[in-house]
A and B are shown apart, each in its own frame.
Chain A
Amino acid sequence: MDPVVIGIAAMVVALSLIFYGVPVGFALGVVGFVGNGIMLGWPQAIVQTQLVAWEAGSDFLLIALPLFLFMGQLVFNAGIATDLFETVHKWFGRLPGGLAVTATIASAGFGAVTGSSVAAVATMGTMLMPEMRRYKYDPGLATGSLAAAGTLAILIPPSIPFIFIGVWTETSIGKLFVAGIVPGLLLALLFACWVVVRCVLDPRLGPRGPSYSWSERFLSLFRLLPTASIFGVVLGGIYGGVFTPTEASAIGSIGVIAVAVAMRRLTWQALADALHQAAILSAMIYLILVGGILIGKFLVQTQITTNLIAYIGQSGLDRYLVIALFTVMYLILGAIMDTFGMIILTLPFVFPIVLALGFDRIWFGVYVTVMIELALITPPVGMNVFVMKRVAPEVPMMVIFRGAAPFGVITLLFVVLITLFPEIVLWLPSTM
């Protein structure tokens, strides 16, 4: 049988299993194994499966994954974000829609020490939602802004998707981290501006918060020092070439432990919970990675990707049109799939095509991560919206989705912006 036909049939089977409800890692792994067995012979497929599990599991670069997950979980469990929220609120709370602006900026700041958007929504939502209720914020704006702001955490480094994409595409994780800074800050600014404009046009949506004196504002900055110092050491170390991302993840973890101890917020329970969660999440991501690599190796054998690249090359499609088609594809996949499943399922096809079209691999990493951000607030499986629903059970799910929709539109426009002006993404890493 034609290898391309085998490849297409295998992808149909993999997608069917995933849609049926088989965990993504199992579905990709078993199809990859069977496919390799057909293409290479069973003895080699068996050896390759074990080799992939061994090599992916002992990849030094991947150490950053469990350690940054641990760091994020500890920041969450130890309640370190409270000071961040209070400082940002003192500076921006007085603006129209000040609490929603605070949510955006504090979530971006929180992302700088965690890399978990769910942690950002759960933490900031828990702190801000009671205040938003007190000030009678529009439920859609309140919950939508919190759910959307949480997505910034995966674009602003350290970012778990960047590690995952970096390992899979053999792209510098350090450069991906640095490349996420400008787009992350820009997107946070756009979100905040949108909130202010909406609340200027209709002040009932989000009234201004209390005013603070300049001395109170400046004094509050001292409380930001622990968070800022962790971010500075992790990112500064990577940017300056002092640390690798792996080393930065260990230093960041030790830094968070030290800050939590200094703030008297570290309990044995918080530490144990953080280790427990980080280990489970790492195992889950590891399995998806192994499944993805297996199916990726199989697809190389079928030459399906090579044929697809050749087809797109011969079709004369404009490269921006191809990106637009990928964006639509990611929107659809993001609406129905988990983010890691979405990445691992598409990378074997999309990454080589994007490179062949002349786009930069760093740019691509940021592009995919922005698309993941969209997936986190897109119905019916927007993870951030589900978490927000847990924080604000009185607000109907559809109201949260509707509230997050304008931020989704802004994110889509941002994709257009970084596609037309890739320098937004590539400038900072080019200075490394």
Chain B
Amino acid sequence: MVDAPLGDDPPHGRSDSGLVARLSRGAHGLGAYVALPGLIGLIGVDVFLRYVLRAPLPWGNEVGSLLLLVAFVASLPYCTHSGGHVRMDLFYARYSARGRRRADAVSALCGLVLASVLAYQSFAEVGRMYRLGSGAYLIDLPYWPFAAFLGLSASVLCLQFLLAIGRGFARIPEGMDR
């Protein structure tokens, strides 16, 4: 961010090793270590070809935009999993453990609404894009795999939020609410 802590994972991190956590880490790896370097390489090569060889990649912008979508969407579940989304913790920091779980559950509920809408409509778009043959104009690259990826990422988010809601309303043992 302008301004997130550096060098560490964001606060409120969890160390789940379940399937959802593995999926979020896998998607994040794709975004961070494939899509981002791909973007740097693609734009860098395009600039070189444009200004040095006078032969830019005609499809550079379109592919760059789709890579950006992958980079953003791929890390959303991991960012959520590691508590990386910014929140105003003026009151949150003062809540008891029970209060925080409730706030986390409400947050997850909000996130679930958004993520389920995104997942539902993205999968609906997959079919529509496939039927219409929607894709990039200057290169043979269909859009539907990207819509599917958006839907999959949103689905992982839905699972994360459902787990968080479950945690939020789970009974907290006596004496652990501080």
Q: Is the CB of B117 within 8 A of A50?
A: yes
Given contacts A47-B121, A54-B147, contact A22 B2 (CB under 8 A): no
**Which stretch in A4-12, A96-104, A284-292, A301-309 binds the other chain?**
A284-292
Task: Give the Cβ gap from B160 to chain A, nearest Cβ, in Å.
Answer: 12
Asked if A282 and B107 make an inter-chain contact with CB atoms under 8 angstroms apart, the answer reads: no
Question: Which parts of B36-78 form the interface with A (CB within 8 Å)?
Answer: 36-37, 39-40, 42-44, 46-47, 51, 61, 64-66, 68-69, 71-76, 78
Asked whether, in the complex, the Cβ of B86 is within 8 Å of the Cβ of A23, the reply is yes
- A329 → B minimal CB distance (Å): 16
Report if A383 contacts B (CB, 8 A).
Answer: yes
Q: Is B130 an interface residue (CB 8 A)?
A: no
B6 touches A22 (CB 8 A): no
Report if A124 contacts B (CB, 8 A).
no
Per-position contact with B for A17-44: 1 when CB-CB < 8 Å, else 0?
Answer: 1111111111101100110000000000
| Chain A residues, Cβ within 8 Å of B87 | 18, 21-24, 338
- Across the interface, name the chain B residue whose C-beta is closest to A76: B6
> How many interface residues does chain B have, given as a range?
35 or more
**Residue from B5, B76, B107 whose CB has the most chain A CB atoms within 10 Å:** B76
B78 (CB) vs chain A CBs: closest residue: A280
Which residues of chain A are within 8 angstroms of B9 by Cβ–Cβ distance? 280
User: Is A357 among interface residues, defined by CB-CB distance under 8 A?
Assistant: no
Q: Which of A189-197, A219-227, A242-250, A397-405 faces chain B?
A: A242-250
Mark B152-168 against chain A: 1 for CB-CB distance below 8 A, else 0. Answer: 00000000000000000
Complex CA distance for A249 and B64, rounded to whole angstroms = 13
Judge whether A59 and B85 touch: CB under 8 Å: no
Which residues of B from 1 to 16 have beta carbons under 8 Å from A?
A: 1-7, 9-10
* Residue with the greatest number of chain B CB neighbours at <10 A, chosen from A20, A27, A272: A20
Q: Is A67 an interface residue (CB 8 A)?
A: yes
Residue B169 at the chain A interface, CB threshold 8 Å: no
**Which B residues touch A118, using CB under 8 A?**
1-6
Give which listed residue, B2, B6, B107, B114, contacts A160 with CB less than 8 A. Answer: B2
Contact check, A286 vs B72: say whether CB atoms are below 8 A apart: yes
Q: Does A127 contact B (CB under 8 A)?
A: no
Given the contacts A250-B47, A276-B32, A280-B75, A26 and B85 also touching, CB distance less than 8 Å: yes
Distance in Å: Cβ of B54 to nearest Cβ of chain A: 14
Separation of A341 and B79 alpha carbons in the complex (Å): 17
A336 x B88 contact (CB < 8 A): yes
Q: B8-32 interface mask toward A, CB cutoff 8 Å, 1 = contact, 0 = none? A: 0110000000000000000010011
How far is the CB of B88 from the nearest CB of chain A, in Å? 5
Q: Which residue of B lies closest to A63 (CB)?
A: B68
| Among A17, A24, A54, contact of B106 (Cβ-Cβ < 8 Å) | A17
Residues of chain A with a CB closer than 8 A to B110's CB: 17, 22, 26-27, 29-30
Set of chain A residues within 8 Å of B51, measured between Cβ atoms = 242
Asked whether A116 and B76 contact (CB < 8 A) given A50-B118, A54-B147, the answer is no
Q: Please state if B73 and A57 are interface contacts (CB–CB under 8 Å).
A: yes
- In the assembled complex, the Cα of A25 lies from the Cα of B157 at a distance in Å of 14
The CA-CA distance from A250 to B61 in the complex, in Å, is 13
Q: Is the CB of A49 within 8 A of B118?
A: yes
List the A side residues contacting B147 at CB < 8 Å.
54
Residue of A nearest to B33 (CB): A275
Taking the complex as formed, is A339 at the interface, i.e. its CB lies under 8 A from any CB of chain B? Answer: yes
What is the CA–CA distance of A18 and B103 in the complex, to the nearest angstrom?
10
Say whether A337 faces chain B, with CB atoms less than 8 Å apart.
Answer: yes
The 8 Å CB contact of A58, one of B37, B68, B106, is B68
Query: Is B91 part of the binding interface, using a Cβ–Cβ cutoff of 8 Å?
Result: yes
Contact present for A24 and B85 (CB under 8 Å): yes
Greatest chain A CB density within 10 A among B3, B39, B103 is at: B3
Q: Is the CB of B36 within 8 A of A70?
A: yes
C-alpha spacing A405/B84, complex, angstroms: 29
CB distance from A112 to the nearest CB of B (A): 15
Q: Report if A381 contacts B (CB, 8 A).
A: yes
> B106 to A22, Cβ gap below 8 A?
yes
Contact B117 A284 (CB under 8 A): no
The residues of B that contact A53 with a CB separation of less than 8 Å are 73, 118, 150
CB contacts under 8 Å to B, within A264-285, are 272-273, 275-285
The residue on A at minimum CB distance from B123 is A50
B85 touches A279 (CB 8 A): no
B88 x A337 contact (CB < 8 A): yes
Inside 8 A of A281's CB, which chain B residues have their CB?
1, 4, 84
Q: Measured between alpha carbons, how far is A59 from B62 in the docked complex, in Å? A: 10
Nearest to A255 among chain B residues (CB) is B44
Whether A324 is near chain B, meaning CB under 8 Å from some CB there, is: no
Residues of A within 8 Å of B72, CB to CB, are 57, 66, 282-283, 286
Given contacts A21-B107, A23-B87, A116-B3, contact A280 B79 (CB under 8 A): yes
Interface check A387, CB cutoff 8 A: yes
A-B CB contact pairs (8 Å), 7 listed: A45-B117, A160-B2, A161-B2, A250-B39, A277-B4, A280-B9, A280-B84
A binding-site residues for B, Cβ under 8 Å: 17-27, 29-30, 33-34, 45-47, 49-50, 53-54, 57-60, 62-63, 66-67, 70, 73, 76-77, 115-119, 122, 154, 160-161, 242-243, 246-247, 249-251, 253-254, 272-273, 275-288, 291, 336-341, 372, 376, 380-381, 383-384, 387
Given contacts A283-B75, A287-B85, 15 further A-B pairs with CB under 8 A are A25-B86, A33-B114, A50-B117, A58-B68, A66-B72, A70-B36, A116-B2, A161-B2, A250-B44, A279-B75, A283-B79, A284-B86, A286-B73, A336-B90, A381-B88
